[in-house]
């Protein structure tokens, strides 16, 4: 066994919302994308409205041809997973999507409560790069071509990502509970 091998907790294990929720939302996104930041705001509102009935997961799909910092930002988010600080980092990255250079990422890591002293060297060495790439390849396999791409219970959501449209789609997917007769 290689003593230098690092066990990496993958982002695909991290959900927010009701653990046993009947509806799962998965968004493939890019931290430099305005549309993804707006979609995240809608998803946050949905999680609040459908408390316990919806769970959410974010997958990385950096559009590196147009967003030069998106891949490193995604790697920083994976680094945050290792310390249980993914959602803190995730929201900070979207809030600061116009400032995602390495120095800024280090400051967001500190703000998120991360303690890893090797944060920058790990970013430089792309320790988490393959994890981001795995999300990207999985997205491509599922037909993702642009972001944000949202899946509801593994089905690509084709509508515009607004609270009314997403709420309607979620309600349509919600399992029907039958009332018992007295």
User: Is pLDDT at 4 greater than 70 in this prediction?
Assistant: no
User: Is pLDDT at 3 greater than 50 in this prediction?
Assistant: no
| Band of pLDDT at residue 48, cut at 50, 70 and 90 | very high
pLDDT at position 177, please?
A: 60
> Can you tell me which residue has the tokens 């979620």?
170
Rounded to two decimals, the pTM is 0.90
User: Is pLDDT at 144 greater than 90 in this prediction?
Assistant: yes
User: Is pLDDT at 149 greater than 70 in this prediction?
Assistant: yes
Topology of 11-173 in CATH? Answer: Glutaredoxin (3.40.30)
pLDDT at position 175, please?
A: 80
3-state secondary structure of 116: coil
Q: What is the dihedral of CA 113, 118, 122, 125, to 10 degrees?
A: 160
Per domain, the residue ranges of the chain are: 11-173
The secondary structure of residue 161, as a DSSP letter, is -
Q: Which residue has better confidence, 176 or 151?
A: 151
Report residue 26: phi and psi, to 5°. Answer: -130, 125
Q: Which residue has better confidence, 7 or 67?
A: 67
Give percent of the chain with pLDDT exceeding 90: 83
């Amino acid at each position: 066994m290689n003593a230098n091998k690092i066990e990496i907790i993958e982002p695909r294990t991290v959900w927010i919302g009701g653990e046993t929720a009947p509806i799962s939302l998965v968004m493939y996104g890019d931290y430099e994308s305005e549309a993804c930041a707006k979609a995240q705001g809608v998803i946050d509102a949905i999680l609040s409205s459908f408390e316990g009935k919806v769970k959410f997961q974010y997958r990385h799909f950096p559009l590196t041809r147009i967003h030069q910092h998106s891949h490193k930002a995604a790697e920083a988010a994976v680094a945050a997973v290792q310390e249980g600080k993914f959602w803190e980092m995730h929201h900070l990255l979207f809030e600061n999507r116009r400032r995602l250079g390495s120095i800024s990422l280090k400051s967001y890591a500190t703000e998120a409560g991360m303690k890893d002293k090797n944060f920058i060297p790990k970013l430089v060495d792309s320790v988490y790069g393959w994890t981001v790439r795995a999300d990207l390849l999985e997205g491509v396999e599922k037909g993702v071509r642009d972001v944000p791409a949202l899946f509801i219970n593994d089905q690509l959501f084709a509508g515009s990502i607004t609270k009314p449209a997403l709420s309607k789609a979620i309600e349509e997917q919600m399992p029907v509970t039958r009332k018992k007769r007295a």
